[in-house]
Amino acid sequence: MTDLIQGLYSEGEKIADTKAPAGPIDKKWTQRKFDAKLVNPANRRKLDVIVVGTGLAGGAGAATLGEAGYNVKAFCYQDSPRRAHSIAAQGGINAAKNYKGDGDSIHRLFYDTVKGGDYRSRETNVYRLAEVSADIIDQCVAQGVPFAREYGGLLDNRSFGGVQVSRTFYARGQTGQQLLIGAYQALERQIAAGTVEMFTRHEMLEVIVVDGKARGIIARDMVTGEIETHLADAVVLASGGYGNVFFLSTNAMGCNVTAAWRAHRKGAYFGNPCYTQIHPTCIPQHGDKQSKLTLMSESLRNDGRIWVPKRAEDCDKDPRQIPEEDRDYYLERIYPSFGNLVPRDIASRQAKNMCDEGRGVGPAVVELQEDGSEREVRRGVYLDFAEAISRMGKDAVSAKYGNLFDMYERITGDNPYETPMRIYPAVHYTMGGLWVDYDLQSSIPGLFVTGEANFSDHGANRLGASALMQGLADGYFVMPNTIRNYLADGPFDKLDESHPAVQEARQSVESRVERFLTMGGTRSADSYHKELGRIMWEYCGMERTEEGLKKAIGMIRDLREDFWTNLRVPGQGRELNQSLEKAGRVADFLELGELMCIDALHRRESCGGHFRAESQTEDGEALRHDDEFAYVAAWEFAGDGDGRMSAPVLHKEDLVYEFIELKQRSYK
């Protein structure tokens, strides 16, 4: 291991995936499924698997494992698995079906995903994702997912997120909902069949590791407050992303990093934590009491035109009074060939640039500045449908986007048929997550990680309509096939709740809960969360600098110290206590935030959603450094010392591109 680097981290041994078989890329998955050991059907009943989180990845995974005959326990913090935030995805799901005959193929979806991820993802995993994508559509149709259809009764597709083929399947603006309900129904069917036992309103607070293997979890029943021990032969985390570290994001209120972070603290490496996706088309913030941000499908960019006034003094004006020649359609100007359809990271950063220049529109919000002072900035750009309405007619626009327009009007009180929408980027998805190998197994044997919770498929930037694809690919097709290789060696030694490792896990949860309840400070968990969010957004958001990140690390440490002395959690432990739930989640976000900043600081290049101001081309575009940074940063937790997290250890996994040639992205 190296000495401390920049006083913040050290570097350990390199790591590599050992599970993807050698050979041509289009044969690897078939080969792996063949090599992975089988579990005799009679033995499956004797194998217990815990699944944490029941969104697309977890719900699909739990249902599939149940169908196969394993003994599954599934956990979610909501009152029903049907609520998971996968439900909110609007746009669609990609699949290489080539139903339009427009030249799509597995290889093209693979290529687009690797390129879209700015060459920071693992080829083998991405190829497999593209390979199983078509099976997902078959599976969902068989379950009754009501995808959009053409008059002939066949499935409709659209082009999405700037790709040049139509491979996106959709169900109006509610694709996530329909896919999730499909997975939910499959899961409920297994619950009825007795193969899956469902624990709703339960939150996982610790993973149990015995002799280096994941053997269960400690969970809190959020209704009774009881702390429960659940033992198993393997654990699957499908607990989603950590965008809520920014406080304001498009995530649901309850989305959190606790399950993943607790696993990280127990030895699971955290991959690329700084890779955050900021989605360009969200409804701007209205004030400082805002609790979350709402995304509108980026399909809006297919017909809407994005602009800001050319002159800052016009920003107050009614946009309809600003003549064409005084408008700056900046994406069309800077990127003539892609225009309004440039990838998410570019569209987002340019919106920020326009507002930083003082040409933003809408109400001004108070922001933290580099020097720690506050200023008021207008954070919004116009997304204008006037041209689309005159070209296609109002009815056609309404047929295509009606539900999004209604949603916009409900939230803002403005009618987008009459006045341009205002949009601004918001944190939406985290590409980073727990490091996994080709089998989706983390660095803790027996701990598998699926969906947004892992780091594996999207590199530094995720393409539109690929999150649903990955969640269901992992849940239905990948994890159930790889976990059997691990489970084939089970059932493992019978474990007792009195085992010291189990006791230790349980006690650490109990004493943490106790500590929250007895701290008796003055500030609410929410107030800390908001403050952390402001730090993260300012210094680890759309643009990151060495100086800013260093400052953020200091600020987060101070905030964390204050949190652990000054927090107030009302109520009791043995009851439904939403303040207590929140406190635990914020405590983990306060640690994750620091790691994200360290990761962002160490990656002195710009790639995908990670833009380092020091690494840009002359005309302000992201500049990658493939010679230095073509690797996954997998971080190992190094323990706590003096009430502080010790400097984490960086393990690099080199990204080897055998099948795709690395290129600088250009959308000009």
Partner 1 sequence: MNLTLKIWRQAGPQAKGSMETYQVTDISEDMSFLEMLDVLNEDLTERGEEPVAFDSDCREGICGMCGLMISGHAHGPEVTTTCQLHMRSFRDGETITIEPWRADAFPVIKDLVVDRSSFDRIIQAGGFISANTGAAPEAHSVPVPKPLADRAFESAACIGCGACVAACPNASGMLFMGAKITHLGSLPQGQPERWARVQNMVATHDAEGFGGCTNIGECSAACPKEIPLDVISTLNSDLRKSRSQRH
Catalytically active residues are 344
Minimum Å distance from CB 230 to partner 1? Answer: 19
Nearest Cα to Cα of residue 8 among 556, 648, 551, 635: 648
List C-alpha distances in Å: 296 to 55, 133, 173, 342, 641.
20, 24, 9, 16, 44
Give the span between the Cα atoms of 536 and 595, in whole angstroms.
Answer: 11
Minimum Å distance from CB 555 to partner 1? Answer: 22
Of 93 and 268, nearer to partner 1 (C-beta) is: 93
Following CA atoms 166, 168, 171, 172 in sequence, which dihedral angle do they give, to the nearest 10 degrees? -60
Minimum Å distance from CB 515 to partner 1? Answer: 18
Distance, C-alpha 505 to centroid of its chain: 27
Residue 654's SS3 state is strand
The 10 Å Cβ neighbour count of residue 64 is 22
Minimum Å distance from CB 92 to partner 1? Answer: 14
Minimum Å distance from CB 136 to partner 1? Answer: 9
Q: Per the omega criterion (within 30 degrees of 0), is the bond before 420 cis?
A: no
Of 83 and 484, nearer to partner 1 (C-beta) is: 83
Of 189 and 266, nearer to partner 1 (C-beta) is: 189
Where would I find the beta strands (DSSP E) of 81-201? 93-94, 168-169, 196-199
Give the span between the Cα atoms of 114 and 120, in whole angstroms.
Answer: 7
Residue 454's SS3 state is strand
Give the span between the Cα atoms of 266 and 638, in whole angstroms.
Answer: 10
Give the span between the Cα atoms of 176 and 157, in whole angstroms.
Answer: 15
Token pair, residue 555, equals 């600020």
Rounded to 5°, angle at Cα 105 from 101 and 106 = 155
Non-local CB neighbours of 635 within 8 Å, separated by 6+ positions: 9, 264, 269, 270, 271, 273, 595, 598, 599, 648, 649, 650, 651
Minimum Å distance from CB 412 to partner 1? Answer: 8
Minimum Å distance from CB 559 to partner 1? Answer: 18
Token pair, residue 517, equals 């309840």
Of 177 and 277, nearer to partner 1 (C-beta) is: 177
- Contact status, residue 78 vs residue 71, Cβ threshold 8 Å: no
Of 152 and 323, nearer to partner 1 (C-beta) is: 152
Phi, psi of 83 (to 5 degrees): -95, -10
Non-local CB neighbours of 333 within 8 Å, separated by 6+ positions: none
Minimum Å distance from CB 433 to partner 1? Answer: 20
Rounded to 5°, angle at Cα 543 from 538 and 546 = 85
Report CA Rg, the chain: 24
The 10 Å Cβ neighbour count of residue 323 is 8
